[in-house]
Amino acid sequence: MKITPTGLPEVLLIEPRVFGDERGFFIETWQQQRYAEAGVGREFVQDNMAYSRRGALRGLHIQHPHAQGKLVQALVGEVFDVAVDARFGSPRFGHWVGVRLTADGRQQLWVPEGFLHGYLVTSAEALISYKCTDLYHPETQFSVRWDDPDIGINWPAGVPPILAEKDRDAPLLREIDRTALPEMP
């Protein structure tokens, strides 16, 4: 397994080891001890899958309280996956990192608790899997605008976003009451 730090040190790009031959391949997508040694020492309590078509933009989402860390992987297709530091008091508050996750690349992105998460489907379709460190609590989940100018995410050009109403109408990060945001530990 290869771990590559991103522009946000807590967000990690993970390349699991792939064992392939003429029959196909085998990949270990989660092994608690190895991932703990790599800096992802969490207990996952919920697995999710999302199928989307080209242009679907999901996010930017966060839960607080009941923060969720997410281990994200593309099983089919390709997405531009984004994490934004939303921890009030963090020196990197509002900073973002984006990576291209593809089914062929088999990489994973670790998005820790306290970070906004979202992605844009850049292929014809995509199936995304993500393991979560806490259960989904709709009463504590909220969105921040995907095109917040203060964050300034450089989304891939040429892919018009298809948005859910809650994401399209979401507030800017600066409009969120600071007590609704997680604090830097």
Question: Active-site residue among 51, 61, 119, 136?
Answer: 61
How far is CA 171 from each of CA 76, 149, 158, 161, 168, rounded to the nearest angstrom? Answer: 31, 11, 24, 17, 9
The CA distance from 36 to 58, in Å, is 28
61 is catalytic: yes
In contact, 46 and 132? CB cutoff 8 Å? yes
CA atoms within 13 A on the CB side of 74: 25
For the chain, the residue count is: 185
The CA distance from 34 to 38, in Å, is 6
Question: Active-site residue among 35, 117, 119, 130?
Answer: 130
In contact, 182 and 88? CB cutoff 8 Å? yes
The CA distance from 78 to 37, in Å, is 28
Which residues are designated catalytic? 61, 130
